[in-house]
Structure 1
């Protein structure tokens, strides 16, 4: 397996006919990439990991469709899109990312809502059974297509989102920011685009919503002390370690995402958001370079966090161990965190300035 090319790995995935067969491939790919990431981490390796995750998920959906057809439920009655949120939506999954997904399907005059709901409930159950077999744990926050909130016809999705926009309490804003990272991984892209486009159009027409999004965006602070020291874990089995996910990666992702929403950028990848913010003159090239470098460091260190298998699921606590915080790692991490602190200040200033301009 160590000598297989990307093309050979992807071919092996797409030729798999059973979930168990794909699980064997995932375990082998995982070990191969884990070794590479530990000893020679590059952004390209991270991108390859996400291409492979996409292939596993897409093949799982194809097999689920075939299983339902074999069981007499037929083909999908209407077009649908399988959506990824979170790091999957941003194409930033680690080797051990969990499931954050949804499903949107077309409205129909030929089939009743009950018929559509019955089919897509069965389809989702089968897809998630496959992802479970592959070792993807379900989202702890229940942002998953088995939850009816995230499995709806297109009109239902848009109505739900508009309700959140018109009542932007903390939980609804959290859901809106989850939707902002949406990506169609399988099926009809034309069902995903209207949701994102309606969201961005509302923000342009009602920019006051940005103030509500800002509060949630800045909820996770960069874990750097006022004297430039790392804020490490104080208690438990991670004592002395560093929470790279919530202390560095998530604050940077959140800040870039809100600037992209403000600018009307639909792309969900953090890398692409930074590039488009720069290309469209929303930020200076120097800032774009600084943020890209900080983001690359955050991704690299996130990929180095220890993982474990729990009930055959790949999981991580998202923390670097105290023994991993070498002098070199601390230097890189502080560089990343200083840029993150400035990013959060910039985001706050940008939204407040926007509000003042609107008032003026």
Structure 2
């Protein structure tokens, strides 16, 4: 058992779940850390979008501190970073590259990176369009935690210079997500922010089935959907469902749908937090297909896979309440056995707390990465990027 630690986390948002999946992921993780006796401070950039949409301004499981500019990390919050037993920096942090550089000059303990968007991050890095991480900074981290597992972990070490790449999947707070009971009001639901690359999957696996089953009820919840989407009359739209209301949302659904972003579909091993939430709430999931999903949810036992509209229609019209209950029970057992916030907290501590070298100065890390890039271009490096 590790002694209680003081951990500082810098992430996109903890205070607002509006339009992002980071807040619920961090909440489950930090509640797990709190349950294990660790003390967490979360540093969040105070931006207008989230400031106007906060649904957790004063958490009881950690200290939440807002800052206005990266420079404040050194002038106002140095003690929180320098005095921490470990520091974790998340993906999509505003001005993330500058934040990382400042943190690396202050932190005395291990510093990890938590990528909740790994396939997107690597695609942006390859295009030199990533605002929250520089390829040159990756070797400076003690550990690179990725919400994507599988072969991508090897790529992070081999091609991007990560010292250690470990999986840290999303998770669910099992104390807050549980079956709520009641009779389902909707045959199929979907909970997620609009994304252009997810929309074709939503069209194929929910909107078109709704057109073919006009006597069934459907619901899509999430912000930022364009006004020009042609929703069938039997699809209800809700702009936002707060995390506290997620269990009731799932309880009202006979099935819920999971649709994967294109980069994550291509990479695989990127389970959405919605899979764990629905599983914990005892609602069976219909998901699109991605490599690695069967390692978390055995197909047909704990999850249903659909590639086409016809398959969704068949599932909705042939699976009875008893079969739904059996699938839901298997999914709930899989989630509670390995995918709660407490599980992730233990994995985080195990990855962060170990003998580590002093942080290489950021400039040296950048220079070393630049030299490696030069070797790649001249053909001298045996491990060129994929």
TM class by smaller structure: under 0.3
TM-score (norm 1): 0.26
Larger relative helix fraction: 1
TM-score normalized by structure 2?
A: 0.25
